[in-house]
Amino acid sequence: MNKSKITIAVDGYAACGKSTLAKALAKVLNYVYVDSGAMYRAVTLYFLDNNIDIQDAQMIDSAIGEIDIHFEIIDGKNHTFLNGKNVEKEIRTLRVSDFVSPVATISAVRRALVKLQQEMGSKGGIAMDGRDIGTVVFKDAELKLFLTASIEERSRRRMLEWESKGMMEGINKEEVAENLKKRDHIDSTRKDSPLCKAEDAIVIDNSNLTPEEQLSYSLDLAKKIIEKKLTGVVKEL
Ligand code: DC
């Protein structure tokens, strides 16, 4: 464990800019970045493509044993690989987005992915975004951020993202908002590790913040915590 490196957990609602922030923090601090949502999406894609019945515990258990997920950086961007295939684009489609929250309620799936996430962060120096990072995966993370933004702003951002990737064909604004609301509801009300703010997390409502403003605020927090870790001197957060 590197003494100066901390663990950063970024949680929050769907399309709140969690990955934008976690990615930017990791880049500036030279940390590893992990998009835990991509892992749930990759499992969902596997379940859809292989007709896995999510009511069938045995089928789920054996499917989990057949899934290998890893990340690769290609041209500076994070790409998700499922059993050796680059699925970065496929896991972002509405087909996967519509089914990922039910899959993420399955405890066997969560157990397997949380174990993998904890292994990835065992040396510190990691920024991971998701729903249960500060409450379950890294309960002892030195910096926990909880992001939120209005549903209008989140839908607008998700639409712009999908438009820029040519993924809005046949999808309207209402469907985008509906998917976000439905996922937030399932994610916050599930029994196993529901989305909620960790007691010691700092809330950032970024409805009216630019990504740069949000990064600068969060980076300040991170630097103070790193300094405290190195020197023992506490500066007010
Ligand atoms: O971050 P995202 O929107 O790509 O995540 C997709 C889904 O995965 C989200 O709706 C809930 C689930 N998820 C989860 O349950 N726990 C995590 N740590 C990350 C994502």
Which two structure tokens, joined as six digits, stand for 163?
A: 């438009």
Domain presence at residue 49: yes
Q: What is the pLDDT of residues 183-210, one digit of tens each?
A: 999 999 999 999 999 999 999 999 999 9
Residue 1 above 80 pLDDT?
A: no
Please report, as a single letter, which amino acid is at residue 167. M
Domain presence at residue 128: yes
Average pLDDT over residues 172-186: 94
pTM: 0.95
138 phi, psi to nearest 5 deg: -125, 80
Which two structure tokens, joined as six digits, stand for 201?
A: 């997390």
Domain presence at residue 2: no
* Protein residue closest via CA to atom 2 of ligand 1: 37
Residue 68 above 90 pLDDT?
A: yes
- Quote the pLDDT of residue 169: 87
132 lines ligand 1 (CB under 6 A): yes
Domain presence at residue 29: yes
State the residue range of the domain holding 181: 7-231
Domain presence at residue 193: yes
Q: What is the pLDDT of residues 96-128, one digit of tens each?
A: 999 999 999 999 999 999 999 999 999 999 999
Residue 237 above 70 pLDDT?
A: no
Residue 170 above 70 pLDDT?
A: yes
Number of domains in the chain: 1
- Quote the pLDDT of residue 214: 97
Residue 131 above 70 pLDDT?
A: yes
Q: What is the pLDDT of residues 24-58, one digit of tens each?
A: 999 999 999 999 999 999 999 999 999 999 999 99
DSSP string covering the chain: --TT--EEEEEESTTSSHHHHHHHHHHHHT-EEEEHHHHHHHHHHHHHHTT--TT-HHHHHHHHHT--EEEEEETTEEEEEETTEE-TTGGGSHHHHHHHHHHHT-HHHHHHHHHHHHHHTTTS-EEEEESSIIIIITTT-SEEEEEE--HHHHHHHHHHHHHHTT--TT--HHHHHHHHHHHHHHHHH-SSS-S---TTPEEEE-TT--HHHHHHHHHHHHHHHHHHHHH------
Domain presence at residue 74: yes
Average pLDDT over residues 49-68: 97
Q: At 105, which CATH number?
A: 3.40.50.300
Domain presence at residue 101: yes
Give the C-alpha separation, 168 to 156, whole Å. Answer: 12
41 lines ligand 1 (CB under 6 A): yes
Closest atom, ligand 1, to C-alpha of 35? 1
- Quote the pLDDT of residue 8: 98
Which of 69, 93, 100 most suits a substitution to test ligand 1, by most atoms within 8 Å of the C-beta?
100
DSSP strand pairing (85-86 vs 77-82): antiparallel
106 lines ligand 1 (CB under 6 A): no
- Quote the pLDDT of residue 2: 66
Question: Can you say whether residue 76 is alpha, beta or left, with left for phi > 0 and alpha for psi between -120 and 50 degrees?
Answer: left
Domain presence at residue 236: no
Average pLDDT along the chain = 95
Binning pLDDT at 50, 70 and 90, where does residue 17 land?
A: very high
